[in-house]
A and B are shown apart, each in its own frame.
Chain A
Amino acid sequence: MAAPRKRTLTRKPKDGALPPPLEPPKPFAALDLGASSVRLVIAEGEGDAMRIVEEASRAVLIGKDTFTSGRIGQPSVEAVLKAIEGFRSIMDTFGVVRYRAVATSALREASNRDTVVDRIRVRTGIDIEIIDGSEENRLTYLAVRESLKSLPEIATETGLVAEVGGGSVDLSTLHEGEPAHSGTYALGSIRLRQSFSAFQGTPVHFQKLIVRHIKNVVDDIGRELPLGEVKHFVALGADARLVARVLSGSEPEPLAAIPRDSFLKICAEIAALDVDAILSSYRLSLAEAETLAPALLVYAELLRATKARTITVSNATLRQGMIFDLSRSEAGQGIEVFSRQVLASANAVGEKYGYDAKHARHIASLSLRLFDDLKSEHGLDPRDRLLLEVAAILHDIGLFVNIRGHHKHSQYLISVSEIFGMSREDLLVVSNVARYHRRALPQRSHIPYMALDREAKIVVNKLGAIMRMANALDADHQQKVKNLRVKREGGLIAIEVEGVGDLTMERLALLARSDFFLDAFGQRVVFRETTKGEF
């Protein structure tokens, strides 16, 4: 989930500047380096008092470069540097020191991404963080949720949030208003345009060809996401907003509902135009005009695959989500709501593989109890706690493949799953934690473990050790342990367990599986049984 990394700029000190009598809100900024533009939003204040101070954008063509040649060309890099340099100056205008700057697929997939990030940092002092699709979804969802407050029906039915970007389309299904499944698919408008760039023919032929391709991918998506159950289709992105503007005459504020048929009709109409006609009809930049038709065709095919009667265009954007996120992290709120969404999504993955929900929830609660009691030993933060919880929920999904070596199957399945709010890095930790809930401890021959960086290995060790013990405490899958607490007795960690029935199996399992704990924490674990009421 990658909690926003703290970034600050150093500012020229002012001679003789007195501190203000009353501490004014500190403005913060979100910068988003996308496929066809780089954008900046500066805001200040928290929660409902949050107010946008400034917005700026510059067109850049990095998506075109990346999705054509795999790397960003020198002219585009220069354009990005110039744009961000200007944004830096705007940030200085308002005294912004706290910011988050992210780049999405157009930079993520470029082979020279590290050089570009470094050059931006050296030239402008701005640290660009390359985020993956799930973090992008999480952030965007923050803004989506805000905009969906005016659509209460969505809280009781299945919804789909779709954003066609330059490189990919991001999809999240909403179950009772919370994100359940999500995925990122290579159906971006620039990518589509580039894949068919060799095509010479009329717009109509082009449209046919591209639609066939989109249909195939959408069919595949339908196998992963329950598109057929979707009743509310929420579209994000500049292309969708343009349609809303054309049909209703104004920007969605924050939502605009368009009947399914009108939307499909205008998509077909626009797709039949050539780029020049689009340019002159809609006052767009060339880059925007070129990708409008492919983007709309993707929306149209996705819409066709659902049951939605209207399409709801939302004005939510990634940078808005980042701004919400920044305004909340300033106020120190938001983690609970976020955790709920992550867990809902994890449970959806569990269901997909027919997990034992009771056992999963039980292990999760035991793990969390151990985690909380062992705080002074592990020194980890709430973010790691959430990773542990997700690992506990999913630790047994490998049983779906085979009972033998199921911990290894769990590892693989988790590592390739899409869980709302979990980045690739997060999922690698979670999948390793799940893997070590039984059998062998980490070894040099375990490639997924060895691929982790040092810090991540330590987190896996600590969380893995905790979950391994928790799992031992439900060795019988009967949820016999009702409560527990950790006591420190000299160099020993005593786990006092209150349970029902015979806990022999659990006692033996704990003794056997505290090996990892001894490795990770350097402390021995003993099992103590107590009777009810002693806690």
Chain B
Amino acid sequence: MKTKSKRKAHDPEIFLNREVSWLSFNSRVLEEAEDAATPLAERAKFMAIVTNNLDEFFMVRVASLKNAIAEGDTGPDAAGLSPAQQLALVREGAALQLKRLHELSERDVLPGLEAMGIRIVDFADLDPNLRPGVVRFFRDEVQPVITPLGIDAARPFPMLPSLSLNLAVLFEPEKGGDDPRLGVVPVPAVLPRLVRVPGAESTYVRLETVVLSQLGSLFPGQVVRDVSAFRVLRDAELEIDDEGGGDDFLSLVEDEVKGRRRSKVVRLDIDARATEALLKELVSRFQGADPVVHRIVGPLDLRFFFQILDLPALDSFRDPPQRAQATITPAESADVFSLLSLRDILLHHPYESFDTVTDFVRQAATDSQVLAIKQTLYRPASDSEIIRALAVAAEAGKQVTVVVELTARFDEASNIRWARRLEDAGAHVIYGVRGLKTHAKATLVVRREPQGIRRYVHLSTGNYNEKTSKLYTDIGLLSANEVLGRDLSAFFNAITGFSDPPTMQLLTMAPVALRTRILSMIDRERRRAEEGQPGLIRAKLNALVDEDIIRSLYAASKAGVKVKLNVRGICCLRPGLKGVSENIEVVSIVDRYLEHSRIYHFFNGGDEEHYISSADWMPRNLDRRIELMSRIISKEASDRLSSILDWFFEDNQKARALEQDGSYRRRKPGRSEDPSRVQVRFYEEAKARAERLRTAPLTLEPIKRDRES
């Protein structure tokens, strides 16, 4: 295969750097916050998201760049940039973004909230009448959980947890000494960041400013010279060494989670008003780590906006509420198995209700004819109905096998809790596959029916998480197709270690075969184009990074294949380059819901193929994760997928087109075009469908199961 002969030489002119591309995605999210047309509460939400994203970006990506530099790695990426060059670009870009973010907060959003009657203030700015109530709160609630730390020769600088907010205090030197002494007060993370001010409607004071105002009681007899809030972010990359012995992977992760606070500090945010002396003193404590320092004007850590989003005062400053719509009638949802023996169900979340999936698992758990349920769980909701159902099934003696991924970043502690709970119920819990993250989202139900064993499957592009299913767009498929059932059964046998990886017909699995399969389908399109047939590849993804795939798409484009990509986040492919990618178009949609579905479509000379998948086109998905791609064969479902893809490329409200230079330009409706906002259209469509369902004449038709369907 052509793409196999991977050229080692990098081609800066045809690849974009992934870190810069990520920053540019985060900037598009920030644009939504900056957009005055966005309702105020949504702007605040986007700001909290941007903050959160940048935090993770530093803890993972920036940390790994810094590690690469520390290890002396100077090797360029596909775009020709060394780690040091990338870090320089990233520092600059991130600083700029933080500046935009906090300016926006100071200039628009905090004043905007105040205009709505929601005040978020410093203790110092609080009406003196209101202060005693807050001070009482400090004495009763804060002081008992606070641990001020003086630092001297006997007491070294403490290990501050990642993402923690703290106060740094510089005291006047003791008598006889010259040097000012440093103290640190961690702001308790167990308390809400915003403290409701007693006696004032919708007024909040930030916790760190409350602590700051009461320093005297924390360090009695000391004279404070300087004080400032700061936060630290540490390297969060989970590096699990699963090569050595040790069977108890679970306790390994537990240790790792506890150990996270010990890793290197990568970023230090500090109040812009802090003195140079204080900052210098503080930075000297992180020697060797050389953190990226940001001076922030206004409050640190805007994730506190999450706390006020649900206030009733903001009710009229939100996106209109959208209820997930039903896709099947109540009678059908009462017996999902019978329905599936008649037809496949394609679900488009969050427009269409995730309840159908929950019902499916719940019915499987209590159905007397169900023998076994197997499921992958990557990031379930903390109080998950699905997990409850699985526990019920296990307690009823069904064979319940759950493959959980404990190394799902930032969520490990909660994963460990429910995994233990399932084990207690008698389920067989498998803690992932050594060396690979289990990212596939699949459920298999084995049911004994009068005609014999029948398998039911659910495959999805999104996690089994009732909460994110309301916020992320995903595609799910429920089916009783025999081939699909057999494939999925083989998949579970393989990942549970019961069988060697099989050959499958409708499913393709990473890391065994997915990359080869995708490359060969792209290549097939190229060959057809070279023979003069029309070629078309459409894909909707979250990220496109993989070099092999990008090169193979370039080759297809050169052969005349039309390539339409809808890539929400990182995209290292440069579209529209003469002689390279003229036939490639890349669009990113950032709107109310996080675009998360992965859909691929290959024209294949008219014998079209549609797929859904859990995988992005990134090396980590294709090489280091267990992923699934499923061919959609029912005519109804693949037609629908095709029209879903059509719509994604018609958006001219929230879509940005990627330019050759890596910048994104907002799409505008053409002169003859109507405005089209795809997320709104999908919701309207789902509503209309649900309406048809409600008004459909009631027919009493006995359901006959057809074994061959």
- Chain A interfacial positions (CB closer than 8 Å to B): 12-18, 20-25, 27, 40, 44-45, 51, 53-59, 82, 86-87, 89-90, 92-95, 285
Whether, in the assembled complex, B453 has its beta carbon less than 8 Å from a beta carbon of chain A, the answer is: yes
| A20 partner residues in chain B, CB cutoff 8 A | 368-369, 448, 450
| B401 partner residues in chain A, CB cutoff 8 A | 89
Question: Residue-by-residue, is B494-525 near A (CB-CB < 8 Å gives 1, otherwise 0)?
Answer: 00111110100000000000000000000000
Do A90 and B451 have beta carbons less than 8 Å apart? no
Whether, in the assembled complex, B397 has its beta carbon less than 8 Å from a beta carbon of chain A, the answer is: yes
Do A93 and B371 have beta carbons less than 8 Å apart? yes
Do A54 and B368 have beta carbons less than 8 Å apart? no
Interface residue from A12, A21, A45, A55 paired with B452 (Cβ < 8 Å): A45
| A86 partner residues in chain B, CB cutoff 8 A | 493, 496-499
Whether, in the assembled complex, B624 has its beta carbon less than 8 Å from a beta carbon of chain A, the answer is: no
Cα distance, A93 to B393, chains bound together (Å): 13
Do B499 and A93 have beta carbons less than 8 Å apart? no
A136 to chain B, nearest CB (A): 23
Cα distance, A25 to B369, chains bound together (Å): 13
Do A54 and B396 have beta carbons less than 8 Å apart? no
Do B399 and A93 have beta carbons less than 8 Å apart? yes
Q: Closest B residue to A82 by CB, please name it.
A: B497
| B450 partner residues in chain A, CB cutoff 8 A | 20-24
Cα distance, A228 to B397, chains bound together (Å): 60
| B371 partner residues in chain A, CB cutoff 8 A | 93-95
Do A15 and B499 have beta carbons less than 8 Å apart? no
| B685 partner residues in chain A, CB cutoff 8 A | none
B502 to chain A, nearest CB (A): 8
Do A92 and B399 have beta carbons less than 8 Å apart? yes
The 6 residue pairs across chains A and B that have the minimum distance between CB atoms: A86-B498, A56-B499, A14-B397, A22-B450, A93-B372, A18-B368
Cα distance, A430 to B607, chains bound together (Å): 63
Q: Closest B residue to A12 by CB, please name it.
A: B397
| A87 partner residues in chain B, CB cutoff 8 A | 498
| A54 partner residues in chain B, CB cutoff 8 A | 486, 489-490, 493
B121 to chain A, nearest CB (A): 59
Do A24 and B499 have beta carbons less than 8 Å apart? no
Question: Residue-by-residue, is B445-485 near A (CB-CB < 8 Å gives 1, otherwise 0)?
Answer: 01011111100000000000000000000000000000000
Question: Residue-by-residue, is B425-451 near A (CB-CB < 8 Å gives 1, otherwise 0)?
Answer: 000100000000000000000101111
| A95 partner residues in chain B, CB cutoff 8 A | 371, 448
Cα distance, A492 to B493, chains bound together (Å): 64
**Most A Cβ at <10 Å: residue of B446, B486, B500:** B500
Known: A20-B369, A86-B498. A44 touches B428 (CB 8 A): no
Question: Residue-by-residue, is B354-378 near A (CB-CB < 8 Å gives 1, otherwise 0)?
Answer: 0000000000000011011010000
Do B428 and A89 have beta carbons less than 8 Å apart? yes
Do A14 and B453 have beta carbons less than 8 Å apart? no
Known: A94-B453, A95-B448. A58 touches B500 (CB 8 A): yes
Cα distance, A12 to B450, chains bound together (Å): 22
Do B397 and A90 have beta carbons less than 8 Å apart? no
A-B contact pairs, 30 of them (CB 8 A): A12-B397, A13-B397, A14-B396, A14-B397, A15-B396, A16-B368, A17-B396, A20-B369, A20-B448, A20-B450, A22-B450, A24-B448, A24-B452, A44-B453, A53-B452, A53-B453, A55-B502, A56-B493, A57-B499, A58-B500, A86-B493, A86-B498, A87-B498, A89-B399, A90-B493, A90-B499, A94-B371, A94-B446, A94-B453, A95-B448
Cα distance, A51 to B369, chains bound together (Å): 19
Cα distance, A86 to B428, chains bound together (Å): 12
Whether, in the assembled complex, B398 has its beta carbon less than 8 Å from a beta carbon of chain A, the answer is: yes
A181 to chain B, nearest CB (A): 36
| A22 partner residues in chain B, CB cutoff 8 A | 450
Do B446 and A93 have beta carbons less than 8 Å apart? yes
Question: Residue-by-residue, is B5-20 near A (CB-CB < 8 Å gives 1, otherwise 0)?
Answer: 0000000000000000
Do A27 and B498 have beta carbons less than 8 Å apart? no
B429 to chain A, nearest CB (A): 13
| B500 partner residues in chain A, CB cutoff 8 A | 57-59, 285
